[in-house]
Structure 1
Amino acid sequence: MNERIADSHRVFDRVSQEYDAARPHYPEALYVALESLSGVRLAGATVIDVGAGTGISARGLLDRGARVVAVDRGEGMLARLRARTPCPALLADGNDLPFRTGAADLVTYAQSWHWLDPVRSVAEAVRVTGDGGAVAGWWNSVDPGKADWLAANQVRLAESCPGYIGPVLPGWSMPPIAAAMSDAGLVVAKTWIEWTRSVRLEDFLTDLRSHSYMARMEGDVVAELLARERAELGRVFPDGRVTVPMRVYLAVGRRD
């Protein structure tokens, strides 16, 4: 595992407050598609949410009746999750899940699988899902093709942040979880879900601060970048409220 992936939990622990405060939720259509593609009804299902972070996906699953166990390697992130998410939360590695074989109906990775070993993690997910179970991964992404201001924002970030990963990079694509699931013998289905996020400008900036490419940077540099974006976006959204075109990529692997 490369160094960037190995220390990811420490990077996110540094920005757990910003992550908890401003990362976007997932739209209702995501959970509808998850049930449809997985064949798992969330109400009453046992779900292991791997890389659960501060609990955004765990709370979404709980709201739909699932029995959720949250797993993450970051102590700071889990502390935020435990403060307001009514489910068990374990400090554990998604590459070595501390559950018996067949313990879950569904294993989920919301915005997290790319921080794990692509082979070991899926093998573990397959092991802990029972017959008829499924593995699912999804990612929220901004959609700069739908708004010029957003495309310009992402280009500025790509030019200013050495570790930037995002949709304006040549050849950018979603993490290859579908291929990893297929290699593990799962039957794979994929979809994209478009939605729109309305958020205060300050929350949009806080969200930027929570991304790994900015979390790794020095604080004074980050402050300058955010001040620049505040000025640039304030001209586009003088009322201080930002409308962000978004889309979610969902990949599901079912046990045959």
Structure 2
Amino acid sequence: MGTVFDGVVEEYDAGRPGYPDALYDAVVELSGVAFAGAVVVDVGAGTGISTRGLLERGARVVAVERGGRMLGRLVARTPRGGVGAVLGDGNALPVRDGVADLVTWAQSWHWLDPVVSVAEARRVLRPGGAMATWWNTVDPESADWLAAYEVRQAEACPAYRGPALEDWGPPPSAAAMAEAGLAPAVRWIPWRRVIGLEDFLLDMRSHSWVASMPAEEVEALVARQRTELGRVFPGGVLDVPMRVYLVVGRTPEEGG
């Protein structure tokens, strides 16, 4: 079992952003689940970026990831207390019925079946539990240089799916939750990321549309982006406007 991301574990772990405190605050507000002591199933946990954020806030986390190398990096990078790491698929969660307070998908729900994954989350949640999907995305409308950066990716990557495309939008997790009988709450959370140029390029390498390209094409794209971004940020430190798209669905209390 593996994914395209197993080939870019180092880039993913070093380059992908974490999440702002405001994201975790919003999850608690909209889900009604306090993290301290809560059982959270983190689906598609990758190298553990969201897993560690949840652990730091007192949750007990079951990290589910289908990429073996990704899961190995999560285990190596994550304190052992309070976390269980399981090789598994979000379409068939290796978790018992009714044991979780919260099911989360950070940057991962769009890789799963929209109907089956939500049904699986409902199965493992206790009555009154909640599910939450979220995605970090850049905000190119706030910076011309960032819009140009995304256009260069779109030109170079046949599989590109991002904000440079006219029909781009966040994955339809809100619609999937609504179809499952939930009443999803949606929120956009703005924040800013300050990051070195080389780490920013590692982030780019970790995206599926880049990771799936031939190596020589990836290196050509990286070289072009390095040159163009270096003109905008000659000091080598980028100030990147970001947004997190959050969707939370709460399940009814037993008998509700």
What TM bracket, shorter-length normalisation?
Answer: over 0.9
Matched, 1:70 2:52: no
Match in the other structure for 2:187: 191
TM-score (norm 1): 0.96
RMSD: 0.8
Secondary structure of 1:198's counterpart equals strand
Secondary structure of 2:17's counterpart equals coil
Match in the other structure for 2:119: 123
Match in the other structure for 1:222: 218
* Post-superposition offset of 1:10: 2.3
Match in the other structure for 1:3: none
Partner AA of 1:84 in structure 2: R
Aligned counterpart in structure 2 of residue 44 of structure 1, from 37, 56, 65? 37
Partner AA of 1:168 in structure 2: A
* Post-superposition offset of 1:119: 0.6
Match in the other structure for 2:240: 244
Aligned counterpart in structure 2 of residue 32 of structure 1, from 9, 25, 34? 25
Q: Structure 1, residues 210-253: CA drift from partner, whole Å, max 9, x if none?
A: 00000000111101100010000001000000110000000000
Match in the other structure for 1:208: 204
Match in the other structure for 2:135: 139
Q: Structure 1, residues 148-182: CA drift from partner, whole Å, max 9, x if none?
A: 00000001111110011111201111000011111
Matched, 1:176 2:155: no
Counting only pairs closer than 5 Å after superposition, residues 142-181 of structure 1 correspond to structure 2 as 142-181=138-177
* Post-superposition offset of 1:109: 0.1
Q: Structure 1, residues 76-107: CA drift from partner, whole Å, max 9, x if none?
A: 10011000113210000100011111010000
CA distance in 2: counterparts of 1:84 and 1:172, whole angstroms: 33
Partner AA of 2:201 in structure 1: L
Match in the other structure for 1:15: 8
Match in the other structure for 2:85: 89
Give aligned pairs, total. 249
What fraction of aligned residue pairs are identical, expressed as a percent?
A: 65
Partner AA of 1:152 in structure 2: A
CA distance in 1: counterparts of 2:94 and 2:205, whole angstroms: 32
Secondary structure of 1:121's counterpart equals helix
TM-score (norm 2): 0.96
Partner AA of 1:33 in structure 2: A
Aligned counterpart in structure 2 of residue 60 of structure 1, from 53, 72, 84? 53
Partner AA of 1:233 in structure 2: L
CA distance in 1: counterparts of 2:68 and 2:181, whole angstroms: 33
CA distance in 2: counterparts of 1:131 and 1:202, whole angstroms: 46
Instruction: Detail structure 1 runs of 4+ shifted over 6 Å in the superposition.
Output: none
Match in the other structure for 1:101: 97
Secondary structure of 1:140's counterpart equals strand
Q: Structure 1, residues 19-59: CA drift from partner, whole Å, max 9, x if none?
A: 01110000000000000000000111000000000000000
CA distance in 2: counterparts of 1:200 and 1:162, whole angstroms: 27
**Higher mean displacement: 46-55 or 159-168:** 159-168
Match in the other structure for 1:234: 230
CA distance in 2: counterparts of 1:151 and 1:187, whole angstroms: 34
CA distance in 2: counterparts of 1:68 and 1:61, whole angstroms: 7
Runs of at least 5 residues in structure 1 that lack an aligned partner in the other structure: 1-6
* Post-superposition offset of 1:187: 2.0
